[in-house]
Amino acid sequence: MIAALAEASAAMRAAPYARGPAEAALFTEKYLAGLTMQAWNYAEHLNMLATPYFSRATGIEGLPGLYNPDNIYRSALLDPAGSYRIYGRRGSHTELTFQVIDQYPVVALGKNLSVIRPEVRPGKDFEFYLGGPRRPGGNWYPMPDKAAAVLSRQTFADWHQSPSTLQIERLDQPAPRPYQSPFASAAVALRAQVKLWVERFVPGLESATPLNTMRPPRDTNGGQGGLGGQMSVMARYALAPDQALVITVAKSDALYQGIQLGDRWFVTPNSVDHQVSLNLAQARADRDGKLRFVIALSDPGVPNWLDPAGDPAGYVFMRWQGVKTRIEGPLAPTAQLVPLAGLRKVLPPDTPVVDAAARRAQLAERKWVPQIR
């Protein structure tokens, strides 16, 4: 594992994203720590196939794959020959989904094999069965042949909503497996992550993503582990200290609508200390029904500021879940690069001024979330 860590560090520090502004080296260090935590998590799961459990992404910084601050992601490894009961109590959050995929999340980009959405009201218990003999009652699902993991998403349209409790239980009695060295397994996982994210995904994403402009939203690619029934759009931003990028989008009728930033490693910056994301419950809509988000390196004093945490370049990602009306035409987002000094000229005249005290109050709403989730 020590050798794999050294290789990963060298590969990441040689990449262009590790150079440039002073913050680049710090972002790279956080990313390496995040990949390492994911590798250790995977190694433990390999030795828990007989007694699986739902783990969650730990920490706030460095989590790879542009995790959404409006989601709780929990995952468990599966044996495609196994039989499972998944159960819990539904929270008040907006959407609960379970994706069965053919790879462990983050270690590889898994393909969606099936998506399960329990039909249960907030505060009520639920259960369903996956794999094994068919069960009556409509809450049994066959195990896909190449299933490797189950990934749960709890989506929050409002951070004051409550989370669900989740459990997974293996019902069959698998043959004993030899214990696998966590050092060796974590090393394999870390090398795989570097090959995927550092060498392939991020460079390819940068070259394929437009700069300071928004393409039309599209259906999320389930072939790369994306959630079916979701629409999304991605762009890159690059800003000078005296510039701002204004993203204008209509308020939709989707169950969930959100926007977030990512650094050049496709990693979500610290979402507790910085307002790197906003959803409909957090953002201010203007009288014309539009949401106007402002990305700027310094606080522009507007409600819907997206703070890139010091990174002058990175990614913008927008999501719509539970889409009722397709996000196209006048509902689609647009982007406009403007001088920071002239920002107010392109915003509605009644856009409030957010002073330092109001911004502190806005950020304080974000700080309690890790305590309860």
Tell me the C-alpha distance between 116 and 86, whole Å: 11
Chain centroid offset of residue 323 CA: 18
The closest of 363, 368, 224, 255 to 303, measured between CA atoms, is 363
**Residue 181 to residues 1, 40, 53, 89, 185: CA-CA distances in angstroms?**
10, 11, 19, 35, 6
Chain centroid offset of residue 136 CA: 35
pLDDT in tens, the chain (373 residues): 889 999 999 999 998 888 777 778 888 999 999 999 989 989 999 999 999 999 876 677 787 888 899 999 999 999 999 999 999 999 999 999 999 999 888 788 878 899 999 999 999 999 999 999 999 888 999 999 999 999 999 999 999 999 999 999 999 989 888 998 999 999 999 999 999 999 999 999 999 999 999 999 998 765 555 566 689 999 999 999 999 999 999 999 999 999 999 999 999 999 999 999 999 999 999 999 999 999 999 999 999 999 999 999 999 999 999 888 999 999 999 999 999 999 999 999 999 999 999 999 999 989 877 776 6
Provide the token pair at 249: 């989008």
Tell me the C-alpha distance between 81 and 103, whole Å: 15
Q: From edge to edge, which strands make up the β-sheet containing 112-116?
A: 55-56, 71-77, 149-155, 95-101, 112-116
pLDDT of residue 228: 64
pLDDT of residue 225: 52
pLDDT of residue 64: 80
- What is this structure's pTM? 0.91
- In degrees and rounded to multiples of 5, residue 229 shows phi and psi of 80, 10
Tell me the C-alpha distance between 167 and 85, whole Å: 8
Tell me the C-alpha distance between 41 and 53, whole Å: 11
pLDDT of residue 60: 77
pLDDT of residue 361: 94
75-84 CB burial, b ≥16 within 10 A, e <16? bbbbbeebbb
Tell me the C-alpha distance between 11 and 3, whole Å: 12
- DSSP for 57-86 reads --SSS--SS---TTEEEEEEE--TT--EEE
pLDDT of residue 372: 67
Tell me the C-alpha distance between 92 and 98, whole Å: 16
**Residue 145 to residues 75, 79, 102, 267: CA-CA distances in angstroms?**
18, 10, 9, 32
Report yes or no: 130 and 143 within 8 Å, Cβ to Cβ. yes
**Residue located via tokens 């997206």:** 306
pLDDT of residue 320: 95
pLDDT of residue 24: 81
Domains of the chain: 2-170 (no CATH), 213-372 (2.60.120.1600)
Residue 232, SS3 per DSSP: strand
Report yes or no: 331 and 215 within 8 Å, Cβ to Cβ. no
